[in-house]
């Protein structure tokens, strides 16, 4: 996928390797997002940067009235779900120290 200047969409290499490819089914998407959320190789910044790049690409496509690839929608959903899971992995609703 090319952008306005002909440069490819920038996704962190670790996320691009795992996610980009054929369209993913629901169970596959869940497994991918779980794997990404629990991966120690991907930082929170990588998730943020990937989502930012995807959103920028979608915005550019929409503004230029270009077709939006379904793969890009799948990637955004997987990365967004993985990031949300990552944020709540260590969340404790009732920490011991509060009582």
> How confident is the model over 50-91, as pLDDT tens digits?
999 999 999 999 999 999 998 899 899 999 999 998 888 766
18 lies in some domain: no
Domain count along the chain = 1
| CB of 37 closer than 8 Å to CB of 90 | no
Nearest by Cα to 76 from 32, 42, 43, 41? 32
Check: pTM over 0.75? Answer yes or no: no
Domain region containing 56: 1-10+26-90
1 lies in some domain: yes
Structure tokens at 33: 């997002």
- What's the rounded Cα separation, in Å, for the pair 34 and 89? 11
């Amino acid at each position: 996928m090319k952008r306005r200047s002909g440069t490819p969409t920038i996704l962190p290499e670790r996320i691009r390797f795992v996610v980009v490819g054929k369209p993913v089914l629901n169970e596959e998407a869940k497994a991918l997002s779980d794997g990404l959320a629990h991966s120690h190789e991907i930082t929170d910044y990588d998730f943020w940067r990937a989502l930012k790049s995807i959103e920028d690409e979608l915005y550019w496509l929409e503004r230029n009235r270009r077709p939006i690839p379904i793969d890009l929608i799948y990637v955004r959903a997987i990365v967004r779900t993985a990031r949300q899971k990552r944020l709540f992995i260590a969340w404790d609703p009732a920490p011991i120290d509060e009582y």
